[in-house]
Chain A
Amino acid sequence: MTRLRRLPSLLVPALLLAPTVLLMWPHTRALAKKPAKAAPATAAALPSPKLDVKNWTLPNGLEVLFLAEHKAPIATVQVFYHVGSKDEHIGIRGVAHMFEHMMFKGSQHVPPEEHARMLKEVGGQVNAFTSEDITGYHDTVPPSYVGFAMQLEAERMRQLKLMQQTVNSERQVVEEEKRLRVDNDPIGKALEKFRALAYVKHPYNWTPIGTIEDLDRLTPADCQRFYDTYYQPNNATLIVVGDIDEQSVRKLAEQHFGPIPRGPEPPRHATEEPPQTSMRSETMRIEVQIPVVVGGYHIPRASDPDMPALEVLATALSSGESSRLHQRLVRRERLALAAGGGAEALEAPGLFIIYAAYLPDRDAAKVQTLLMEEIARVRDKAIAADELDKAKNQLAAGFVFALQTVDGVAGALGRARYVEGDWRRFVQGADRYLAVTADDVQRVARKYLIDTNLTLVTLAQPAPAAAPRPAAPAGGKK
């Protein structure tokens, strides 16, 4: 711990790609390790493991997804609500996430925080997260407690007790979380700015953590309205993965969630982000040891047919040390410490992100130029056949690695259900990359990775010619 052996610059990609916020920090970054999507290997194509997911819907509209997985005595019970920060508006920015906290602050039959405490005492692990599109609650428990976890989840689905005192004390906690994640973290600050610049109209303009000014104004009535609008069985999916059989899950789900009446259908935002017509760029000058440049191009929503090609493109650009951005910026030119990117899969149109982090004594303009040159290269020329194969193999292996834990699988199913609009996208994920050709990759690069569609934020030190940092390398230059 003392010696700081790790490379914090590698945190950059994760922060970029995982803008969700969680109830508890201990699990936060572990969860940011999102499973890669599937793809069958090409060179020696292996069939992806088949997942026999069961799916049914209760009369009140609650969807259920179940996968039996008997390799260890554990099971996960997750409830995903189809609501996130994009369902907010200015004035209540941060309510979705604040709400995720309030779900632990007491309901009719469960005093504040007893939900987490009781599950913990039977060996359970409890957490929750809020993203732009979804809010998820997970309880991972020994299999004999699946019914208990469902009982608790069903109870708080409609019987939350929102009180002024709990709203006030939890508001302070949430504001501390924002200070921790955003205000005290240079990259957090840069990402907040980046979103604000990239989106002028759509609620992706802000991040799930929201703003202190809006949080300060939230009332229990605001929370109640939000709860009644979105926390309804017909706006939720129950996901169970683990060491339990289907009949038990059917029975328990019916017993605990069945009695909840169907609610009104929640409204959906119709806000569309207007097409970007010129490049946006801003430099933030704050005290930072590792400067960063982050760029993003608008891309379509996660369910769009262009997404598989964009994901293959992102993989070729940034997955592994043989990837294009790493090879050029880190290896050949010795300018960056890390360089990469990814295609954000969001329910509404997201961003194709690229970034580089570098030591302060390197030429920032050159770093940016090289990033742009690499983007131009994928526009101008199709990627080579072996590069395409490699990307597909990486996506295929990543999918299998993601199947190792029950909560990983459940989370991926839940995200596919709401972010991509269909849980089958996760199960059948492998096929989507198989058909991608080098021409497809070039086509999407030409369509989306263009300068007029780009937002760039540079995080740099206040005075470029300031005194050298104590940690600036004396002998590290090439």
Chain B
Amino acid sequence: MRPPVHARGAQVLLSAALAVAACAGSGPPAKPAATAGSVDVQYEGGASARAAAAKPTIGLEFWAGRKDLIQAPPPPKPEELTLPKVERFSLKNGLEVIVVPRKELPLVSFSLSIEAGGYDESRDVLGVSDFVAAMLRRGTKTRSADDISRAIDFVGGSLDARASNDGTTASCGALSKDAPLCLDLLADIVLRPSFPEAEMAEVRDQMLAGIAARFDSPHELSMAHFSSLLFGEKNPEGWVLTAEDVNRLTRAQLETFWRTFYRPNRAILAVAGDVDISRLRAAIDKAFGAWARAKVPARPGWTVPPVAGTSILLVDREDLTQATMVLGHQGIKHADPRWYAATLANYVLGGSDFSSRLMIEVRSKLGLTYGIGSSFGASLYEGAFRVTASTKNGSAWEALLATVNQIRKMQAAGPTTGELDKAKGFYAGSYPFKLQTAGGVAAALVAAEQHGLYAAYVRELPVRLAAVDQPKAATVAGELLHPDTLLVVIVGKASAIEPQLAGKGIAYQRINFKDPISAAARAAAKAKPPAPAPAAK
């Protein structure tokens, strides 16, 4: 047994794991067409076949043609999920409430999702939604930060608030006997935060540490560069929080953001676990009834600028033994009707661990990576398609090449019918796993609601996926994958990686790992135009 990791830490870990899971990697070869730092690249067909041939193959002869191998039974039939009985109601002020009762364990969780996130920030108050979320626990009209910590710790519960671009989620989990305390604390921190000036320094430190730690994590660093490159300055997804942003924020800005966006008509409260519905309704009304509704500025919505040709950003850190890569291009909205076909095609390409083409090629056959994967983010607005991977500095090119060729192959023909069936079987069988806890059901319902997909999405996902046929999957893969217009970020030891790029006649831009993330900030920092890419000869 491990000693307990307190709830907040554990949650962070889980998020980190999910973030990592979304990665994959790949690369491009081809001829340089140097613009200022990026190049258009054409890929040589068959290059990955040659790369594979150069490596020891797996030695599958032993199993070839054998009749006594264990065969997989037929996959489960996709069917609608029977969700536990869900209670829904709304308060007079517009707060939506979803209750998922479940009695097996004496636990309860309250999770309040408010549409107040990064998408609601203007560029000059970047980070304000995070700062506000972190300050909620730091004091209310009647409780100090330490009062709040002592109260929740004494019952062994958890109380937390976190912002994302989509919004802020404040949640409390505890034994069901402590449900009244949970509800009281949650309402208090969301409705009556006092934003004590004295607490701001500590929160600021935590945020600055998060920014600094980015430079210790090649993965986080590569993702930050990728987002900045892909989404650009006009889309909040492309804004990378810096120390200057954090240091600039004032108490007045926090309070204004909270007052403007923390409103019941933009919030859903999900309650899950061992609750008494009849008493709960009155308790929720008492806790949240006084929260005043208000008109909240609408979000304009954002798209992703198209990528013009493949380019490589090489982020140099000399002490790295591994090249960490992310590559990709624009994706789709979660609510896009092509989401289902895209999910299946991605499962086959790089979304399914060992079963994925990328994993088979780059890990199993070539032994170049520990992990590689791809994803279409489930975004509220147009998101990104990303592949992430890591490999030895010396094999960056080879891994990249193998990856791009797999994207190309998927783009050209889509998944095979057999692969598609396996992907559908996976979702049919595994989907209930995510919904094994009441909290999981509640979270899925809230997420579907916020992305405009509603409860039917949660119930019917396996069936909707099963309805995608091969031609549809191939069409969507053909539309959504762009193997010739990829943004590639490689964080690694440039002196070991550059020769590989040079040998292939590729141009790229090289920067130092501690350079500012956005191109504009780098330019401003140098007060002169960025050096042209040291194009290989």
Contact = CB atoms under 8 A, between A and B. Distances in A.
Contacts of A172: 367-368
Interface in B154-181: 154-157, 162-165, 173-175, 177
B355 to A, nearest CB: 5
Nearest to B513: A287
Contacts of A389: 154
A475 B202 CA distance: 11
A113 interface: yes
A345 B2 CA distance: 6
Interface in A112-162: 112-114, 116-126, 140-142, 144-145, 148, 151-152, 155, 161
Contact of B239 (A2, A33, A345): A2
A289 B213 contact: yes
Interface stretch (B101-109, B472-480, B494-502): B101-109
Interface string B75-119: 110000000000000000000000000101111000000000010
Nearest to B153: A320
Interface stretch (B183-191, B433-441, B526-534): B433-441
Nearest to B421: A121
A386 B150 CA distance: 10
A35 B175 contact: no
B247 A121 contact: no
Nearest to B19: A1
Contacts of A416: 1
A169 B243 CA distance: 43
B75 A394 contact: no
A165 B150 CA distance: 57
Interface in A315-332: 315, 318-323, 327, 330-331
Given A10-B9, A168-B367, A176-B369, A321 B149 contact: yes
Which interface residue of B4, B66, B157, B355 has the most chain A CB atoms within 10 A? B4
A60 to B, nearest CB: 21
Interface in B203-219: 204-218
Contact of B209 (A122, A359, A405): A359
A1 B18 CA distance: 11
Contacts of B58: 112, 165-166, 169
A314 interface: yes
Given A1-B19, A7-B206, A470-B514, A123 B153 contact: no
B21 interface: yes
Nearest to B389: A176
B17 A13 contact: no
Contacts of A473: 204-205, 208, 243, 246-247
B451 interface: no
A296 to B, nearest CB: 12
B14 interface: yes
Interface stretch (A183-191, A376-384, A445-453): A183-191
| Interface size, B (range) | 35 or more
B321 to A, nearest CB: 5
A302 interface: yes
Interface string A1-19: 1111111111101100110
Interface in B422-437: 422, 425-433, 435-437
Contacts of A119: 72
Interface stretch (A68-76, A192-200, A221-229): A68-76
Contacts of A405: 436-437
Contacts of B107: 400-401, 404
Contacts of B459: none
A365 interface: no
Nearest to A177: B370
Nearest to A402: B4
A14 B370 contact: no
Interface in A341-355: 341-345
Given A17-B5, A46-B177, A169-B58, A11 B237 contact: no
A165 B156 contact: no
Contact of B14 (A30, A116, A318): A30
Interface stretch (A81-89, A102-110, A230-238, A272-280): A102-110
Given A49-B105, A394-B156, A17 B210 contact: no
Contact of B73 (A122, A140, A290, A323): A122
Given A6-B16, A109-B70, A321 B153 contact: yes
A3 to B, nearest CB: 5
B282 interface: no
Contacts of B516: 470
A331 B146 contact: yes
Nearest to A121: B422
B1 A345 contact: yes
Contacts of B156: 41, 390, 393-398
A415 interface: yes
A247 to B, nearest CB: 21
A420 B69 contact: no
A10 B8 contact: yes
B68 interface: yes
A288 B4 contact: no
Nearest to B227: A2
A29 B104 CA distance: 27
Given A2-B240, A34-B4, A169-B367, A49 B391 contact: no
A5 B130 contact: yes
B429 A142 contact: yes
B238 interface: yes
Contacts of B102: 71
Interface in B108-145: 118, 126-127, 130, 137, 145
Interface in A434-478: 469-478
A218 interface: no
A264 interface: no
Contacts of B217: 8, 185
Contact of B210 (A6, A14, A168, A330): A6
Nearest to B75: A122
A28 B17 contact: yes
Given A41-B156, A165-B57, A290-B213, A120 B1 contact: no
Nearest to B432: A73
Select the residue from B73, B126, B317, B391 with max chain A CB neighbours within 10 A.
B73
A108 B528 CA distance: 64
B234 to A, nearest CB: 14
B487 to A, nearest CB: 14
A197 to B, nearest CB: 21
B400 interface: no
B297 interface: no
A62 interface: no
A439 to B, nearest CB: 21
Given A34-B5, A109-B68, A289-B215, 7 more contacts: A2-B240, A4-B214, A14-B9, A41-B156, A120-B354, A176-B392, A289-B214
Interface of B: 1-10, 12-22, 55-60, 62-63, 66, 68-70, 72-73, 75-76, 102, 104-107, 118, 126-127, 130, 137, 145-146, 149-150, 152-157, 162-165, 173-175, 177, 201-202, 204-218, 220, 223-224, 227-228, 231, 237-243, 246-247, 317, 319-322, 324, 352-355, 360, 363-371, 373, 377, 390-392, 422, 425-433, 435-437, 439, 514, 516
7 contacts: A1-B223, A5-B130, A289-B216, A393-B156, A395-B156, A397-B156, A404-B105
